[in-house]
Amino acid sequence: MAENTKAVENTLNTSIDLQNVDWHSLFSQQQLLNFFHDWVVPYSLKILLAIVIFLIGKRLARFISKLLGAMINRTVKDEMLSEFIRSISYFALLLIVVIAALSQLGINTTSLVALIGAAGLAIGLSLQNSLQNFAAGVMILIFKPFRKGDWIEVASGAGTVTQIGLLMLELRTGDNKTVLVPNNQIFTQKITNYSMNKTRRIDFIFDISYEADITKAKEIIARCLAEEPRVLKHPEPLIAVGALAASSVQLFVRPWVNTGDYWSVHYAIMEKVKIEFDKAGIDIPFNQLDINLTSNQIEAIEKNSEQK
C-alpha cells in the first residue's frame, strides 16, 4: 500500500515538473544549437581555411616571384627585366591564390573568372595604344637594342637613355632636356645606338683650294692625328682625296677613336688642323660662283646703275 502511494506521488511530481518547463526557451536553445552546428562551425572552418590559404599562398607567391626574378637576373644580367618579371609573376600568382581562397568559401569562381576575362578584354580595347607601348617595352627589355646610359638616335631625336619604362622611354638631350618617347614609336622605327660598340670612326671633310699643295696638306693632317693620343693607331686613319668640288679639293679623313672620346677628339682635330693650315698658308676656300656676262648685258647693267 505504501509503495503504491509513493508511485502515485512520483507521477504527480513528474507531471508538475513537465508543466513548469519553459518550452519556448527550450525550443530557442535548440534552434541556436542547430544554427551553430549547421552554419557557424562549418563556415568558421571554411573562413579560417580560406584565410590560411590566402596568407600561405601570398607568401608562396612572393617567394616564387622573387626566385623567378633572381633567375632572370642571373641569366640575362638585367635588373629592370628581372624586376618586371617578378612583379608580373607575383600579381598573377596572387590572383590564383585569391580565386582559390574564394573557392574554399563556396563562392562560384567560374563566373568571377569570366568577369575578369571580360573586364580584361574591355580594358584591353580601351587601352589599345598603351598595350602596344607595353608590348614594345617588353620587347625592348628582352632584345636590348640599347641600355641605360647609351646615346641613341630615334625618330623623335637623340639623347642619353636615362630610364627604360614599360610604356615610355626617357631620353636626356645634349642641352639637358628630358624627352619622353612612347615605346611603340621606338621599337617600330629605326634605332641608332652610338654607344653599343667600343670604338667609332670620325668622318672629317677638309676643303683646300685647287692651288694648295695636296701632299703638304695631307702631311699636316697626318701629323695632327699622330699628335692626338686619343686617336687609335689601329685601324690606321684614312687620309685621301675624296672629291673635286666646284671650288675646292675635298680631303676625306677617317680616324678611329674610343666611343667616349668621339666629340672631344672631333673638336680638337678640327681646331688643330685649321691652325696648322693657316700656319702653312693652305687656304680653305669659300664657295664660289663664276658668272660670265656678255658686253650687252654689262652695258644694260651700267645703264640701270646710272639711272638709279
- Between CA 211 and CA 185 the distance in angstroms is 50
Q: What would the pLDDT profile of 160-200 be if each residue is shown by its tens digit? A: 999 887 778 889 998 999 998 888 888 888 899 999 999 99
- Mean predicted confidence (pLDDT) in 34-46: 62
What's the confidence (pLDDT) of residue 249?
95
What's the confidence (pLDDT) of residue 203?
96
Domain 36-131 has CATH 2.130.10.10: no
- Between CA 78 and CA 252 the distance in angstroms is 41
- Per domain, the residue ranges of the chain are 36-131, 145-193, 199-280
Domain 199-280 falls in which CATH fold? Answer: Alpha-Beta Plaits (3.30.70)
The position carrying cell 573562413 is 47
Q: What would the pLDDT profile of 247-256 be if each residue is shown by its tens digit? A: 899 999 999 9
What's the confidence (pLDDT) of residue 80?
66
Return the closest-CA partner of residue 168 out of 154, 182, 148. Answer: 182
Mean of the per-residue pLDDT values for the chain?
79
Q: Which CATH architecture has domain 145-193?
A: Roll (2.30)
Q: pLDDT grade, residue 241 (50/70/90)?
A: very high
What's the confidence (pLDDT) of residue 8?
45
Question: 205 has which bridge partners?
Answer: 252
What's the confidence (pLDDT) of residue 167?
77
What's the confidence (pLDDT) of residue 16?
44
What's the confidence (pLDDT) of residue 238?
95
